Amino acid sequence: MGFYDDRIVPHIVKIACGGKEVDPHRERVCAGLTGEVVEVGFGSGLNVPFYPAAVTRVAAVEPSDVGWRLGAENLARATVPIERSGLDGQSLPFEDDSFDSAISTFTLCTIPDGLGALKELRRVLKPGGMLHFVEHGRAPEEKVRSWQDRLNPIQKVVAGGCNLNRDIPQLVTDAGFRMADLDQFYAKGVPRFGGALSLGAATA
Ligand SMILES: C[S@@+](CC[C@H](N)C(=O)[O-])C[C@H]1O[C@@H](n2cnc3c(N)ncnc32)[C@H](O)[C@@H]1O
């Protein structure tokens, strides 16, 4: 990883994903998380304030040391134990059937093998465990999609490998999850090519 991706992108992500306008999406996606939770792409812990009381422990998977350090304030305020437990969502260092819930927010766009990471999450979730996600990705309209395809190579360079055009719900079901709940909408105040959100929950 180069200097820009390693040192600069985590700061950009904290600002871009840490706005107050994102909080309602974080609150919605965290609702219903229970028990032992694995969070993939933990970043700077922007979901921590929204973990419900039913969460007992969080295993954070995050490759970026800078991102993890930027989360110090959120970690200090956490009311549940949170441990940095892995570095790569594509290869989770956990036994099968270990967790009650999993969460991914704005991360499946960036993990190089998004499908592989989802398969890993399904493997480590107990049968019936729930994956909660909010992700940007492939837009419903063809016109927006064509812009996403055109802009994707630039986005990948400037945004740490982030893809604009992944079909997140399709990847979730391709990984073997059963979709339990899905809301697709455009985030307010964000250009449509980057703001086509999928917020949902799926059963392992
Ligand atoms: C756009 S940020 C989102 C951070 C956080 N989830 C949030 O909602 O603010 C994408 C995150 O995915 C992480 N990431 C990149 N590659 C990863 C991988 N292979 N496994 C797990 N996380 C990864 C990045 O370091 C970064 O923290």
Contacting residues for 33 by C-beta, under 8 A, at least 6 apart: 51, 52, 54, 55, 101, 103, 130, 132
pLDDT reported for residue 10: 77
163 in ligand 1 pocket by Cβ < 6 Å?
no
pLDDT (tens digit, 9 = 90+) per residue, 24-59? Answer: 999 999 999 999 999 999 999 999 999 999 999 999
In this structure, which residue's CA is closest to atom 14 in ligand 1? Answer: 41
| pLDDT over threshold 80, residue 64 | yes
Question: What separation in Å is there between the alpha carbon of 110 and the centre of ligand 1?
Answer: 7
pLDDT at residue 1 greater than cutoff 70 = no
Does ligand 1 come within 6 angstroms of the Cβ of 40? yes
Q: Which of 143, 154, 149, 96 is nearest to 121 (CA)?
A: 96
The Cα–Cα gap between 157 and 130 comes to 32
Query: How many contiguous H segments (helices) and E segments (strands) does the chain have?
Result: 9, 7
pTM of the complete model: 0.96
For the stretch 108-135, pLDDT in tens is 999 999 999 999 999 999 999 999 999 9
User: What is the pLDDT at residue 147?
Assistant: 97
Mutate to test the pocket of ligand 1, among 110, 136, 168 (most ligand atoms within 8 A of CB): 110
Give the C-alpha separation, 157 to 118, whole Å: 23
